[in-house]
Structure 1
């Protein structure tokens, strides 16, 4: 399944409760996208999220239904440094 990086900008510092995260995941499941992980900026006003989804449009639909911004949605491929790739292959 394609991978997407989503950049989100928030007006206020982001605080996500376990209940809020669970709600996001339920809606994502309904839409057919999977939240893999996120990075939060030091000021807590930006996130960079990695998702699996059939299309960028489905990412945008999930964001809209969750009431979340999706400022930039980019399809990406995974790239790791050679040493990390060799280690991952050895443990697979």
Structure 2
């Protein structure tokens, strides 16, 4: 019983007991010429993003990004849209649209 009480006290003081559950989000970033960026430019952006994520804490995580014609589509897990917007502002990255993923489908969805 004493161990459980100690664990609960540690969770409450660290904020873990009150953390929002993480959800998955897709971020659309309009970046003209994104498809023409060099590997060095992509690496620099990635490094900057990771440094900001580390400063924000473990509740926001970058999963992956897709570079397309004039846009990045980024997949993150986070407790809310606000922390994603904060990451974008701190990094000077556009976050033109942030949407919460409500479901995932794929070829296996069609199977019985």
The question of a shared fold, defined as TM-score above 0.5 by the shorter chain, is answered with: yes
What pairs up with 1:4-83 in 2 under 5 angstroms?
Answer: 4-10=25-31, 12-14=32-34, 15=37, 16-32=41-57, 33-41=60-68, 43=69, 45-81=70-106, 83=108
Please list every run of at least 4 consecutive aligned residues from structure 1 whose deviation after the TM superposition is greater than 3 angstroms: none
Higher helix share: 2
Corresponding pairs, count? 83
Are 1:3 and 2:30 an aligned pair?
no
Root mean square deviation of aligned Cα: 2.1
Q: Which runs of 5 or more structure 2 residues have no equivalent in the other structure?
A: 1-21
Are the counterparts in 2 of residues 25 and 34 from structure 1 also a CA contact under 8 Å?
Answer: no
CA distance in 1, matches of 2:107, 2:43: 36
Q: Which has the larger radius of gyration?
A: 2
Provide TM-score, normalisation by structure 2: 0.64
